[in-house]
Amino acid sequence: MPQELDYSALIAGEAAMVMFGRQMAEAISGGEVIFLNGDLGMGKTTLSRGVLQGFGHQGAVKSPTYTLVEPYELKALTVFHFDLYRLGDPEELEYLGIRDYFTDQSVCLIEWPEKGEGVLPTADLLITITLAQHGRRIDWQAQTEKGRLMADKLKHNVVHS
């Protein structure tokens, strides 16, 4: 794939973070693997809540810190929300049957993907959240053709909101 553009947006506050997640949902067509990079407390779970709301989920969203993954069977597709913070060894993902999670009818949102390095597939989209003066900065970058489509749609959604 040719060199990709790195897009970014400034997100002031929790509500705007949830809104960005909803805009991500609108840019998802199914089958995407999305890495959520960012330090402790940067807003990865908040962003995931927005994506889940975008697909119609109304309840709470807790980070699956101990179970590692939480499935949400929603109308359009299944969202698998991973939090790999406590994963000791990437090999443990094999025991979870990790390969079954990555299908065209599912979307995988993965917090702390670096803990699964070597076993996780290449992400279609990389999201990186960092601290900014009035909240957070989100950068997103495609790594596959599928990811490029999503990255462009997301940019469009953000610019036109």
Could you give the string, one character per residue 83-122, with x where binding to ligand ATP holds by CB under 6 A and - elsewhere?
----------------------------x-----------
| Dihedral angle, C-alpha 65, 66, 69, 71, nearest 10 ° | -100
Considering the complex, what minimum distance in angstroms separates the CB of residue 4 from Mg ion? 26
Considering only CA atoms, which of 2, 5, 8 is closest in space to residue 129? Answer: 8
Query: CA triplet 69, 18, 87: central angle to 5 degrees?
Result: 25
Could you give the string, one character per residue 28-57, with x where binding to ligand ATP holds by CB under 6 A and - elsewhere?
----------x-xxxxxxx-----------
Q: How far apart are CA 49 and CA 33, in angstroms?
A: 16
Tell whether the torsion through CA atoms of 124, 66, 112 and 12 is positive or negative.
positive
Considering the complex, what minimum distance in angstroms separates the CB of residue 134 from ligand ATP? 8
Asked if 63 interacts with ligand ATP (CB under 6 A), we say: yes
CB 65 within 8 A of CB 45: no
Total number of residues shown for the chain: 161
Q: Which of 23, 37, 45, 141 binds Mg ion (CB under 5 A)?
A: 45
Considering the complex, what minimum distance in angstroms separates the CB of residue 65 from Mg ion? 8
* Binding residues for Mg ion (CB under 5 A): 44-45, 63
* Binding residues for ligand ATP (CB under 6 A): 11, 13-14, 16-17, 38, 40-46, 63, 111, 135-136
